């Protein structure tokens, strides 16, 4: 397993990002640096509960949210972990997220 992760790191499929905002509290904090797995395998094997990086359906920025539900025809329903409704812009605002907008899976230690 370590060998596969090392290959992804060297090949650029693992990259660091800086979290901005508090929509994913308590899982991810504002200013936290975390790894993203940009590999096709990571995207093909997504499941409900995974945290992903995707392109904003209404803008150019990237967003981090948790997959809340999935519909084969519509896409992914994304939610922020922060229970304060004012802290998270998610699928309640922009609807389902198409697979094409997904960039990678956030690597979170359990």
25 Cβ neighbours under 8 A, 6+ residues apart: 81, 82, 87
pTM of the model: 0.87
Report domain extents, the chain: 2-106
Query: How would you write the pLDDT of the chain (110 residues) with one tens digit per residue?
Result: 555 655 565 666 899 999 999 999 999 999 999 999 999 999 999 999 999 999 999 999 999 999 999 999 999 999 999 988 777 889 999 999 999 999 999 997 65
CATH code of the domain made up of 2-106: 2.10.109.10
For 80, phi then psi, to 5°, come to: -80, 155
Q: CA distances (Å), 79 to each of 12, 15, 43, 76, 93, in order?
A: 27, 23, 18, 10, 10
Which pLDDT score, from 0 to 100, does residue 8 have? 60
Beta strands in 19-100 (DSSP E): 33-37, 51-55, 62-71, 75-79
């Amino acid at each position: 397993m370590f060998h596969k992760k090392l290959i992804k790191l060297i090949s650029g499929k693992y990259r660091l990002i800086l979290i901005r905002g508090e929509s994913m509290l308590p899982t991810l904090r504002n200013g936290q640096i975390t790894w993203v797995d940009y590999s096709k395998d990571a995207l093909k094997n997504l499941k409900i509960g995974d945290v992903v990086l995707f392109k904003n359906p209404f803008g150019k920025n990237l967003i981090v949210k948790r997959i809340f539900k999935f519909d084969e025809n519509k896409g992914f329903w994304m939610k922020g972990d922060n229970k304060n409704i004012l802290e998270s812009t998610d699928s309640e605002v922009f609807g389902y997220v198409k697979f094409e907008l997904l960039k990678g899976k956030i690597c979170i230690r359990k």
